[in-house]
Amino acid sequence: MSIQLFTPTFRIEECLDEIRECLEKGWTGLGYKTTAFEEKWKEYTGLTNAHFLNSATVGLSLALKILKMECGWQDQDEIITTPLTFVSTNHAILYEGLRPVFADVDQYLCLDPEDVRNKITAKTKAVLFVGIGGNTGQYEQIAAICKQNQLKLILDAAHMAGTRLHGQIPGKEADAVVYSFQAVKNLPTADSGMICFKDTKHDELCRKLTWLGINKDTFARSNDKGAYKWKYDVEYVGYKYHGNSIMASIGLVQLKYLDQDNAYRRQLASWYDQAFQGRVASIPVADGCESSRHLYIIEASNRNELLLALNECGIYPGVHYRDNTEYRMYSYAHGTCKNSHRTSERIISLPMHLRLSKQDVDFIAEKVMTYSK
Ligand SMILES: *Cc1c(COP(=O)(O)O)cnc(C)c1O
């Protein structure tokens, strides 16, 4: 038997029913289920806009592109970001010709407000905040810093589907919130994502850019009267970034179970906590945060040995993440974020998915306590 870090659970029959509707109708592309999913997502989050994409990576890229276009940012203007994230976050900054400036992380492994303040220069335009593992960290302080310094705020909410802060879905104050529905995230499809702009003008521009710069989507066109449906305008050299109805079908079903699934993830986390009884250092969840619990992260001084020992027992944890300044394209910032660097050598993400039982958690916890230092 082996216990993987992530094993997604799909409501197979319901997903197939939704997909069947697409196939029977003959509509698998943009529009139809994508529109339905966007509406449901707005209802669920309370965010003003939602546009369904083929990944969160393109969402982060679009958030930066559109803010750069609309706010007149220059190449090499600075975006404050975290070194402890999936590279997608920071690559998105490079795609747009902007410069990632790394600030250190706090005890939640999220951006540390004090270091963000230290890293602001005359060229800083925005802060990109990542809610690691579904944690909100000190997001409210970061939002306040952005407001004081007239910086834009982008929330990489790839881990945060279903996270609440003081009972609300966070992100209403952010200029853009980007969710991932990639294969192993809390709301898994296969690959897709959602971008939620605060400003409806940005959402409208985004819809054009995700379909080659064309100013109307096929669904709207097919409902138009007249013989000139084909005569749309192309306003921008846009991209092929929009989502499709097959992914949206899976998303619509998975969304119905998101809160229930996340509640079980929090149950798993509390079983880990109980088993460890403070004998293993785990990353705390911020006050007021009801975390989606995408991850359960612990620290160990013998991390690499511990990983190997757990593998020997059939347990396959992960590491989220390696300090990005160790990668060649970000190495200019190596050594600028001491806590990230140190933590990156010590963290392990323990298995966290809906097929785990209390017995599994107890088994994993026992092995962790046996082999960790
Ligand atoms: C998964 C992930 C992304 C990218 O999501 P995709 O939908 O796979 O493009 C971005 N940021 C973080 C923190 C992630 O974990």
Boundary (domain end) residue, out of 256, 289, 315: 256
Claim to verify: residue 179 and residue 242 sit in the same structural domain: yes
Claim to verify: residue 105 and residue 17 sit in the same structural domain: yes
The CA 274 to ligand 1 mean position distance, Å, reads 30
pLDDT digits (tens, 9 = 90+) for 13-45: 999 999 999 999 999 999 999 999 999 999 999
Of 218-232, 292-306, 350-364, give the lowest mean pLDDT range: 218-232
CA distance 276 to 109: 20
In a domain, residue 4? The reply is: no
Claim to verify: residue 236 and residue 305 sit in the same structural domain: no
In a domain, residue 1? The reply is: no
Please give the pLDDT value at position 159. 98
pLDDT digits (tens, 9 = 90+) for 328-341: 999 999 999 999 99
Claim to verify: residue 111 and residue 181 sit in the same structural domain: yes
% pLDDT > 90, the chain: 94
User: Which protein residue has the closest C-alpha to ligand 1 atom 2?
Assistant: 158
Claim to verify: residue 300 and residue 337 sit in the same structural domain: yes
Please give the pLDDT value at position 110. 98
Claim to verify: residue 264 and residue 159 sit in the same structural domain: no
Banded pLDDT at 215 (limits 50, 70, 90): confident
The single residue listed with the structure tokens 């300044």 is: 325
| 297 has pLDDT over 70 | yes
Calculate the alpha carbon distances from 368 to 17, 163, 268, 299 in Å: 42, 27, 15, 11
| 156 has pLDDT over 60 | yes
Q: Which residues line ligand 1 (CB under 6 A)?
A: 55-57, 85-86, 88-89, 130, 156, 158-159, 180, 182, 193
Claim to verify: residue 108 and residue 155 sit in the same structural domain: yes
Instruction: Tell me the CATH number at 28.
Output: 3.40.640.10
Please give the pLDDT value at position 219. 54
Calculate the alpha carbon distances from 8 to 11, 16, 56, 164, 352 in Å: 10, 16, 18, 21, 10
CA distance 33 to 22: 8
In a domain, residue 155? The reply is: yes
| 100 has pLDDT over 90 | yes
Q: Which atom of ligand 1 is nearest to the CA of 193?
A: 7
Instruction: Tell me the CATH number at 338.
Output: 3.90.1150.10
Claim to verify: residue 159 and residue 246 sit in the same structural domain: yes
Mean pLDDT for 290-295 is 98
The CA 81 to ligand 1 mean position distance, Å, reads 15
Token code pair at residue 230: 């084909």
Boundary (domain end) residue, out of 195, 224, 256: 256
Claim to verify: residue 330 and residue 298 sit in the same structural domain: yes
Claim to verify: residue 251 and residue 263 sit in the same structural domain: no
User: Which protein residue has the closest C-alpha to ligand 1 atom 5?
Assistant: 56
Banded pLDDT at 1 (limits 50, 70, 90): confident
| 228 has pLDDT over 70 | no
In a domain, residue 98? The reply is: yes
Please give the pLDDT value at position 216. 72
Claim to verify: residue 23 and residue 131 sit in the same structural domain: yes
Nearest Cα residue to 351 out of 317, 320, 300, 307: 317
User: Which protein residue has the closest C-alpha to ligand 1 atom 8?
Assistant: 182
Banded pLDDT at 326 (limits 50, 70, 90): very high
| 242 has pLDDT over 90 | yes
In a domain, residue 33? The reply is: yes
Banded pLDDT at 73 (limits 50, 70, 90): very high
Domain boundaries, position 342:
258-371
Q: Which atom of ligand 1 is nearest to the CA of 130?
A: 13
Boundary (domain end) residue, out of 206, 221, 256: 256
Mean of the per-residue pLDDT values of the chain: 96
Please give the pLDDT value at position 167. 98
The CA 367 to ligand 1 mean position distance, Å, reads 30
Claim to verify: residue 111 and residue 216 sit in the same structural domain: yes
Total domains in the fold of the chain: 2
In a domain, residue 163? The reply is: yes
In a domain, residue 16? The reply is: yes
Please give the pLDDT value at position 367. 98
In a domain, residue 2? The reply is: no
Q: Which atom of ligand 1 is nearest to the CA of 180?
A: 7
| 225 has pLDDT over 70 | no
Please give the pLDDT value at position 233. 86
